[in-house]
A and B are shown apart, each in its own frame.
Chain A
Amino acid sequence: MDQKIKEILNDLYAVDSTLRQEEEKIVKIVEKLLLAQPEVKIDENFISQLRLKLLEKEEILRKSKTHSFRITDFIPLNKLAYAFSGVAVALLLIVGFIFYSGPGEVVNVQNIGNNAFGNIVFSGQSQEGDNLQGSAESRGLGGGGGEEIAPLSSTMGTMGKIVPPDYYVNYKYVYRGGDFKIEEEMVDVYRRIKDETLSSDFASIIKGFNFGAINLEKFQNIKINNLQISEDHDFGYSLYVDFQNNSLSIYANWEKWPRTNYEQLSESDILPDKEVIAIADSFLKKYNIDMSGYAKGEVINPPLYRTMDMAQPEGAQGESLTPIYPSISIPDTLVVVYPVEIDGKIAHHSNGEKEGLTVSVSLRYKKVTHASSIMTGSYESSKYKAETEKEKIIAMAEKGGLFGSYYVYPDSVKTIEIPLGMPKLGLVKTWQWTNGQEAEAPLLKEAMPREMSYELYVPAFIFPVLENPESSYYRQNVIVPLVGDIMNGSMIREYPLGLSTETIEESPADPK
């Protein structure tokens, strides 16, 4: 008799000894049951794949062990857990994955070989986000918040068009710094890694839900692109999760903030930079946002704010010219930028502003109203040949670098020199698309599907503007990338376009 059957019988007799008398029948029953046992063939691929999935989740849990984002600030888990138990936990894991790592962890950079990102192209890029406050405030997604996204297409928007001042002044960059060296012939270009599986992972948790009118099971291969949740209390916040770009933004849920009549603030409302940064720091700390991939915060002063200290513009004979901007204009919010830092290099926007996580602080309420560009800090790096001719680099800087030079008016009344100081090595952020731009590098062809955008951080020399002229002009830095098509002189922006002197003289601007 089979050993297994013997054991089962012994257990049965221990309960009811009278069953021994019917042993023959009982053996048959047990044998019948054993014969009826379905043959289970487990798929070894399934076991391997599930193991990998669990290892990834295990890693997330390990990292989020001591630094958990307080999702309970946004979701009443006691209610949500009942209906969406897996969803809430998955959200915690995924949100935690996006911007949490342990304290003091360095940014994760993986080298993937030389020239792996194909041609680095700056010319012909859109000017989306090219504003002096950084791109965080520029567009709303999901009802109120702003999030930086890649320009829609590499061919959208070409040259800049700016309404010219009504008095013609030429600006000329002049390098006044000392001698500098270019140490390396090959430099690292970085690409931020976006985990495309996050949206699928999250979707797999909720795909079984049937909402009555909509049954998610009927949808094929679903992905969750974004998610927005809001706090329902005074001065509450909303959280916007962008799964595609692996980024978060937190913004004021305006329905729960006081309605104001937007009375102009006074000078006494202006906070020192130190206090503005402290409010921003405190907010980021409160929500346990991992700042290991960012440098210290700095306040970006918007140009309107700066007009407070501007002298009235003058003509060539010292006559007072009509100013365009009001003499005093105090912004409602100040923006603190925490620049992205990779391998000790600070990232900049093409306009010279520092690029990274931005936090807007309301001077009216002394609270944070917006925090955006909170992103994953994992990158791939690839070495590219750098421009090493110093004269060429300085020449490009004196042409305005990546952001371009100003149009030279033939009949200008004045030429103002803008001195540039000794450059530092940093990074400039740009975008790369595959749509309409065939990748030459084999790695790129395989790894990057069409119509996808990727953030690149390209080594660049950052030339500081030593002195800003007393006018509406304002730039902090001139950026000269060491890699890419700009060194061929193919990226020159001209300001303004199509406006004549006669037009200006006939109808001068009338400030209100």
Chain B
Amino acid sequence: MEIQKEENLDNFGYLYDKYVRSIYNFIYYKTHHKETAEDLTSQTFLKALDKISSFDKKKGSFFSWLYQIARNSVIDFYRTKKNCLNIEDVWDLSGNEDIERDLDAKKKLEEVQKYLKRLKPEQREIVILRVWEGMSYKEIAEVVEKTEENCKVMFSRVVQRLRKEMPLAVFLNFFVSLPF
């Protein structure tokens, strides 16, 4: 929806209802932990509310602005927690790190995790946003602050890399696991 700057505060409730689940999902994909995701989602929306007067629709949609806040919140969380500038999300951690992760997520990601971990954070983010969040490249571009074209090329290269790295066995297992 079109938001006039001076109306942001009044529309915030509507915007919250519209985007809270997407933001939560996104943060969950980057943390794999319910409580952490809730915490960071709260932080994201509180920060957004604090900074609502600085939102400029000429620079992008409210949606992508919110994602940027969420993304930065996750980065800050892990960097503060691990006191390391190279950590951006749970994917950057080694398997033995003492960090909370939900068992369900851990199990589901078991097969593809090691391949996704090898990707650069920005590449992995594009995969998450495109495949799991179903965002358009235009929206992805605003979030990761790159051009649409760059995002498409990056995703294409990620798929090619996965095609090379994922062994045939994974696909066989994959076919076995299908219901038909």
Q: Counting CB contacts under 8 A, is A416 at the interface?
A: no
Q: Report the interface size for chain A: residues with CB under 8 A from the other chain.
A: 43
Alpha-carbon distance between A170 and B105 when the two chains are bound, in angstroms = 85
A11 in contact with B47 (CB, 8 Å): no
Kindly list chain B residues whose C-beta atoms are within 8 Å of the C-beta of A55.
Answer: 13
Contact in complex: B112, A36 (CB < 8 Å): yes
Identify which of residues 325-357 in chain A touch chain B, using a CB-to-CB cut-off of 8 Å. Answer: none
Q: Is A208 an interface residue (CB 8 A)?
A: yes
- With the chains together, A59 CA to B152 CA distance in Å? 42
Partner of A54, one of B46, B104, B108: B46
- Residues B13-67 near A (CB distance < 8 A): 13, 16-17, 20-21, 24-25, 28-29, 32, 34, 38, 41-43, 45-47, 49-50, 52
Q: In this assembly, does B170 line the interface, its C-beta being within 8 Å of a C-beta of chain A?
A: yes
A42 located at the interface, meaning its Cβ lies under 8 Å from any Cβ of chain B in the complex: yes
Across the interface, A11 reaches (CB within 8 A) one of B108, B155, B162, namely B155
Interface residues as binary, B153-172 with A (CB distance below 8 Å gives 1, 0 otherwise): 10110011011001000110
The interface bits of chain B over 113-134 (1 if a CB of A lies within 8 angstroms of the residue's CB, else 0) are 1000000000000010011101
Decide yes or no whether A33 CB sits under 8 A from chain B.
yes
Whether B20 pairs with A8 at a CB distance below 8 angstroms is no
Q: Which of A30-44 contact B (CB under 8 A)?
A: 30-43
User: Quick check: is A47 within 8 A (CB to CB) of the other chain?
Assistant: yes
Alpha-carbon distance A53/B132, docked complex (angstroms): 29
Say whether B174 faces chain A, with CB atoms less than 8 Å apart. yes
Nearest CB of A to B156, in Å: 4
B109 contacts the other chain (CB 8 A): yes
Is A38's CB under 8 angstroms from B45's CB?
Answer: no
Q: A89 contacts the other chain (Cβ, under 8 Å)?
A: yes
Given A16-B156, A29-B162, A210-B80, A4 and B46 contact (CB-CB distance below 8 Å): no
Chain A residues within 8 Å of B9, by CB: 58, 61-62
Are B25 and A40 within 8 A (Cβ)?
yes
* Shortest Cβ distance from residue A509 to the other chain B in the assembled complex, whole angstroms: 62
How long is the Cα–Cα vector from A36 to B109 in the complex, in angstroms?
5
**Is the CB of A80 closer than 8 A to any CB of chain B?**
no
Tell yes or no: A51 within 8 A of B by CB.
Answer: yes
- Closest-CB distance, A31 to chain B (whole angstroms): 7
Distance in angstroms between the alpha carbons of A32 and B169 in the assembled complex: 13
A51 vs B17: C-alpha distance when bound (angstroms): 8
Among A28, A30, A42, contact of B21 (Cβ-Cβ < 8 Å): A42
Which stretch in A18-26, A448-456, A459-467 binds the other chain? Answer: A18-26
Are B156 and A38 in contact, CB atoms less than 8 angstroms apart?
no
When chains A and B are docked, how far (Å) is the Cα of A36 from the Cα of B117? 13
- With A8-B131, A11-B137, A38-B29 already in contact, the answer to whether A25 and B163 are too (CB < 8 A) is yes
**Which residues of the other chain, B, contact A33 by a CB distance below 8 angstroms?**
112, 127, 131-132
Q: How far is the CA of A93 from the CA of B46 in the complex (A)?
A: 12
Residues of B within 8 A of A32 (CB): 111-112, 166, 170-171, 174
Contact residue among B12, B130, B134 (Cβ-Cβ distance under 8 Å from A58): B12
Question: Does A15 touch B at the CB level, under 8 Å?
Answer: yes
How many Å lie between the Cα of A50 and that of B42 in the bound state? 7
Query: Is A4 within 8 A of B134, CB to CB?
Result: yes
Q: Which residues on the A side are within 8 Å of B25 (C-beta)?
A: 40, 42
Cβ contacts under 8 Å, A29 to chain B: 159, 162-163, 166
Are B155 and A12 neighbours in the complex by a CB distance under 8 Å?
Answer: yes
Whether the Cβ atoms of B111 and A12 lie closer than 8 Å is no
Q: Point out the residue from A25, A37, A54, A89 that lies within 8 Å of B45, measured CB to CB.
A: A54
CA of A15 to CA of B154 in the docked complex: distance in angstroms? 10
Q: Is B24's CB under 8 angstroms from A36's CB?
A: no
A14, B151: Cα distance in complex, Å: 12
**Out of B42, B130, B162, which one reaches A53, CB within 8 Å?**
B42
A58 touches B13 (CB 8 A): yes
Chain A residue with the shortest CB-CB distance to B80:
A208
- Whether A86 sits at the interface, judged by CB under 8 Å, is yes
With CB as the reference atom, state the residue of chain A lying closest to B51: A89
CB of B47 within 8 A of CB of A86, answer yes
Residue of A at shortest CB range from B131?
A33
Contact B49 A61 (CB under 8 A): yes
A223 at the interface (CB under 8 A from B): no
Q: Which residue of A lies closest to B107 (CB)?
A: A38
A33 to B158, CA, bound (A): 12
Is A364 on the interface with B (CB-CB < 8 A)? no
A12 and B104 in contact, given A29-B163, A54-B46 (Cβ under 8 angstroms) = no
Chain B contacts to A: CB under 8 angstroms:
9, 12-13, 16-17, 20-21, 24-25, 28-29, 32, 34, 38, 41-43, 45-47, 49-50, 52, 77, 80, 102, 104-105, 108-109, 111-113, 127, 130-132, 134, 137, 152-153, 155-156, 159-160, 162-163, 166, 170-171, 174
* Sample of 11 A–B contacts (CB below 8 Å): A14-B152, A19-B156, A26-B163, A32-B111, A32-B112, A34-B132, A36-B111, A40-B28, A58-B12, A58-B13, A89-B50
A residues near B, CB below 8 A? Answer: 4, 8, 11-12, 14-16, 19, 22, 25-26, 28-43, 46-47, 50-51, 53-55, 57-58, 61-62, 86, 89, 93, 208, 210
Which 9 A-B pairs have CB atoms at the shortest separation, nearest pair first? A38-B105, A15-B156, A36-B112, A15-B152, A37-B132, A33-B131, A40-B25, A40-B28, A89-B50
